[in-house]
Structure 1
Amino acid sequence: MKLYLDPGHGGSDPGASGNGLKEKDVTLDIALRIRSILTNNFEDVEVKMSRTSDSNKNLQQRTNEANNWDADYYVSIHCNAFNGSAQGYEDYIHNQLSNSSRTADYRNIMHEEITKVNGLTNRGKRKANFHVLRETRMSAFLSENGFIDNIQDAALMKQSSWKQNVAQGHVNGIARAFNLKPKNGGTGKLYKVIAGSFKAKDNADERVTFLSAKGLDAYVTTVTISGEPWYRVQVGAFSNRENAESRLRAVENTGVDGFIVEE
């Protein structure tokens, strides 16, 4: 399959900003990780990016390039902003598409996979008349990965492990939607390194602070077990089990017990 991957904004257009971050930098980081995971781990996938550096390209140029390349799927990566109080994840397809369209089917898969791993409040599936959703001839999807002007969301955006997980979530969705085959007999699975599971979020936050002081990017995710919420501390997610085991050893070297969750 041919994926046109569009990290929003760039160059003289920084996008949204807040808490020392610019949207154009966060979106490029995530998109580069998506390309890397896809091309390294799956067969028969081509990725063309609207930009691979801090460069300018207007919206018409982006959609024309995707259309002329005859891409199978257009994925646009963004971050949100409002007034500092809003937070969470949402995604979009064009507002004239029905919920039974192929694009909506793809989006349902993407939404499910991304919200599994991003640790953000789920703001739901939405529709809009955005240029990149309207002017593309292929199915198109736009993700808004947190609010850059919100302190909690921005704290996640500053963590490389969080951006890697967000990228992996996008990849998991793309791989499911297009039935991509893992390379070299791989499993296509995701291995999450967990450094504690707590009933109280304060305890999970304390564990994150401890691990961060040890140089390990960590953040809190929420899972439901037997109908009750638990707060897990995640320290990375990997498509390669050996890499997950290496991270687990680094966690255990701090004196914290951890484990790997396979999905």
Structure 2
Amino acid sequence: MFKVWIDAGHGGKDPGAVANGIQEKDIVLNVSIGIKNRLEADYEKVQVLLSRSTDVFLELRDRTAKANAAGADILVSIHCNAGGGKGGFESFRYTSASENSIKLQDKLHKAIMGKLGGIDRGQKAQNLHMVRESKMPAVLTENLFVDVVDDADRLKQASVIDAIIDGHVQGIAAYLGLVQKTKEDKPLSQRDINVPSKWAEVTWEEVTANGYFDGTRPGAMITREETAIVTNRLRKNFLKLIAGINGNVADMDERLKKIEKEN
């Protein structure tokens, strides 16, 4: 069983690069979860571990420490870029990278560019924590620029996110020599949790625009915490409706609590 460590950069109080209505931390989390789901669904004998699966902040040292402790076979750190002029895709290994890190970078870079297209900024080496402190072959990918309008517009498209995910999956599978599952091995029903079902697209856009959901992971299971948040947002909107545009929502909230206690 191969262990693949996928690191979604930034998170929580650290949004990463922010521009054109995009936060890096959101894009890379969606991509990371997509990579995990697709790799495990489509290939045999692979386990994908995530630095984070929610919007939380982790120190760099904690990310690599966990990956090293888990005995991961490879590490891929997912990022979006900023400040790059014309934009595009690039990947990084450590300045004194092992031969296996170089091979992993080559497989990943070519697979992602094959799916993503656009400007190829090249395979580069840099003294970055995630690729320096990892004990296994490690690569960091920079998937388009949030502050370049053309790239930002692409990052808002589900098909582009899907291409980024697919490129990472194919690159990892090629490096590790993973074997694809047969149809008999795959679950009867599979879907990409980052893409809304056709029948729900319009409703999903509406509830996102109205602030009930943040627009990410439309196909994921909802937690009790998320249910509580959505229910509370609905409750507050009902109070506003009852109180009227010029009413006092706080007073209405207190009156409602009093009624609930009495009953």
For the criterion TM > 0.5, the same-fold answer is: yes
State the partner residue of 1:95: 95
Letter in structure 2 aligned against 1:121: I
State the partner residue of 2:127: 129
- Alignment check: 8 A CA contact 2:4 2:46 kept: yes
Structure number, greater radius of gyration: 2
1:119 aligns with 2:134: no
Q: Equivalent residue of 1:183, what SS?
A: coil
Whole-Å separation in 1 of the counterparts to 2:48 and 2:97: 25
Letter in structure 1 aligned against 2:103: D
Whole-Å separation in 2 of the counterparts to 1:120 and 1:143: 15
Whole-Å separation in 1 of the counterparts to 2:40 and 2:103: 23
Q: Equivalent residue of 1:6, what SS?
A: strand
Between structures 1 and 2, the one with greater strand share: 1
State the partner residue of 1:31: 32
Q: Percent identity?
A: 38
1:86 aligns with 2:78: no
1:176 aligns with 2:192: no
Letter in structure 1 aligned against 2:132: R
Q: CA deviation at 1:27?
A: 0.5
Letter in structure 2 aligned against 1:148: V
Q: CA deviation at 1:118?
A: 0.8
Q: CA deviation at 1:86?
A: 3.1
Letter in structure 2 aligned against 1:153: D
Unaligned 5+ segments in structure 2 are 185-200, 203-263
Between structures 1 and 2, the one with greater helix share: 2
1:10-89 equivalence runs, <5 A? 10-82=11-83, 85-89=85-89
Unaligned 5+ segments in structure 1 are 187-213, 216-263
**Structure 1 residues 186-216: Cα deviation after superposition (integer angstroms, max 9, x where no partner):** 8xxxxxxxxxxxxxxxxxxxxxxxxxxx99x
Letter in structure 1 aligned against 2:89: Y
Whole-Å separation in 1 of the counterparts to 2:96 and 2:100: 13
Letter in structure 2 aligned against 1:160: A
Q: CA deviation at 1:45?
A: 0.4
Aligned residues: 187
Q: CA deviation at 1:185?
A: 5.5
State the partner residue of 1:165: 163
Whole-Å separation in 2 of the counterparts to 1:33 and 1:118: 15
Letter in structure 2 aligned against 1:4: W
Give the TM-score taking structure 2 as reference length: 0.68
Q: CA deviation at 1:119?
A: 2.5
Q: Equivalent residue of 2:87, what SS?
A: coil
Give 1:106's match in structure 2, choosing from 100, 104, 110. 104
Structure 1 ranges of 4+ moved more than 3 A? none
Give the TM-score taking structure 1 as reference length: 0.68
Q: Equivalent residue of 2:40, what SS?
A: helix
